[in-house]
Structure 1
Amino acid sequence: MRSWCLCQICTCGRHHCPHGTTRIYENTGVCCPTTEYLEKYPTYGSVLPAQSLKPKQGFQAYRGKMEGITTFKSDYRPYEIIQQPRHAPEEYKPNQGEIDLGTTYKRDFNSYKIQPVAIVRPLERQQVKKGKLDTVPTYKDDYRAWDIQKSELYKPEQSYYPPTVKFGNSTTFQDNYVPWEIQPRQSFKPSSVVQRPTVPFNGDTSHHLDYAPYQLESKLARPKEVYKPTNQPFEDLTTHRCDFQGLVGATAKICRPAHTRVTQNAQFEGSTEFRDSFQPWEIPPPKVKKVQEYVPPTGSMQLHSTSHLDYVPYQAERVIPIRPISHRRNHHFPFQGKSTTKEDFPAWESCRQGLIKKQQQIPNPSGKFDGLSTFRSHYVPHELIPTESCKPINVPLQSSCPFDDVTMYSTEYAPKKQEICPASYASPPGYIFENTNSQGHKFFRKITPAVKAF
């Protein structure tokens, strides 16, 4: 007998089995109809899985008692530590005699007597007070200009002559391109002039001509269903009230202490819980440490340091500089502030150049403006002719025939009886609950009707 799952019994597609936790190594042989994988990928025959080529781990634990000796303890041998001898510094003994202040630089590089360098520049020309200044440079004296003849030009002669009249010459475009007579094209655009019809409009449109009115049937009035209340009384029990009922138990006792009413005439004892629990302890006074009296040392203080005793000062001579003595010229006459450039190149008188404006070709208008523009002078007003509207008058059509409300939906629609899904019941009709597998699917067995024997 085949077993049906609740997912297969459902016809509306809204009822499924409650999927709970699954078991990994369970093989019941019943397929799950809710997965898409089993529908697309069917199961193959009895094919054994591939054997693993991984070597088996043959480790055997040591069962004996473990010794407390490691590889470091067995291989390591401690050596005898010998204390290294400490180097005692020798006592410093200062050298006797005078210190030699000679260096390697003084010994290898001896000073030489330096003579003043002779000036290589030419002697200055004494400026003659009377007479003109000779401003001929060396370049003009040594380099003479050659007499070079001008080479002839190989450029062709210019055949262009400027015109005597304004815009007199013709352009390249006018010379090469001969004007042709332009013939206007025939326009296929309809004329914009509205042609008025001579015959009056009769009101016939394509809708009026093609539309065929149909006679409407009388609409059936559906009787209103009368509400019939149920005879069974209403049970106000919810799922929470049915499934979750309170446990019967004893009422909780109050842990609050008894309230003792204090009278107005009672006096305050002055004792609190803090005073009763925490009694004062006797704290001994701290011990005072005695400070030893300062005893100054006897004798006089020696102010000699190691530097004063070991390093004796020597009298050093001052090093003479080896650089040559600068021979400066002391001139007592005042500075004149004149130079060759100032005398030969005097400043020119420069004036600011004025603006270069082109002469205005169009003369300015003379006289008073009369207020007449080009648009007003050339514009010719025309009389507007309003276009007549061809739109029909919006008047509701009145007809004595009733409206035909027959549609394709009303003629071809056949109402079907609403079926109730069998999975919506607690136990589907025609099925008996069998079992529930580990995946949470509920399986039912179909009841076969008994066949009567003839």
Structure 2
Amino acid sequence: LLQSCLCTTCTRFPLPQFRSDYLPYDTMRRPFRVQEEYKPKTGERELGTTYQKDYNAHKIQPVTLVRPLERKHTMGGKLDTIPTYQDDYRSWEVQRREPSKVDHIYHPPTEKFGNSTTFQDDFAPRELNPRQSYKPPCVAKLSDVPFDSTTSHRMSYIAHQLAPKFVKSKEEYRPNNQPFEDLTTHRNDFKGLAGPLAKSCKPENAKVISNAHFNGVTEFQDRFQPWLVSLPEVRKTKEYIPPLGSMDFNSTSHLDYVKHEISPAVPIRPISNTRITNAPFQGNTTMKEDFKAWDICQQEIIKKQQEIPKPTGKFYDLTTFKSHYIPHQIIPAQSFKPAHVILPNPAHFQDETMYRTEYTPKKQEICPANYPSPPGYVYINTDSHGHKFFPFKLII
């Protein structure tokens, strides 16, 4: 025999194991590490560098110039500004050459200009003779035999009389004599047993209250040490002292420049030999003298004579269809299509299914936890959480 809570055996109302297995622990506050006190170092700070220790200053004299003094050569002679071309140039006397043009006198033609073309000279108009057509006339041939409209369907079809339609009678509704069972599983099994409430395992949220005075002093306020600060030195600018004496404004150009007297340049271009005549200008050209305007008449339009004569009389609008068409009386064809009739089946409808034939009803078992004292079980005790324990046999 084993003891177990009846609630755990029921699969409908499982109890979580957190409440039963939870054990609260005492929490300790984390220790605080005390910071060490700051102690400044004693002594003076060494500000010397290697450059200040090892640097040796040397006295340097100003550099002397190695450039030699400039020597100036001056001459007292007069500058000759006449070029060689002006002295050596001699003009030549050139006579004008006579023109070697041959006089050409225009003589107009004596014959008249012909304007006829090769087509006009060689073309001879001829009359067109239409060819005789040997094509047979397109005329429909009428048949004397009467039209045979008999078909195999009309000859072989035999009309049969249809059987009357089977009408199924409606079944009369018969209500059930048994009352409707509206009892559900909840109504059947629920009995509303009152039980003690489960205790909460959550620790109490106690507020920590301290009566000590709040210390608002910070580390900066507590450990700050004021230092004496000296003001920065102000550097004084040197006073400007102008140099003594007067400034020499003479330059090298003013001192060494020698002014020369130069005569103006004489033009070297030779004198142009232009001839001025009082004769009138001759504006007659060869085009004006030799060109003779011709009398031109507008050429007549060459039209080709019309070969096809225009039709005369009234238009004959009778077509072949109108002339040969013979209207016939239309006889509507008889329809031999069977009528759309549903043939009834006298056999009985088989409405049996596998569910109806193979279904086996089973008995519904009631959970033993719904009973105050379940049958087959013996009550032992109740734990602190309100669970009742019953012994039961374990079948292996």
The verdict on a shared fold, with TM-score over 0.5 as the criterion, is: no
Larger Rg: 2
TM-score of the aligned structures, taking structure 1 as reference length: 0.28
TM-score of the aligned structures, taking structure 2 as reference length: 0.31
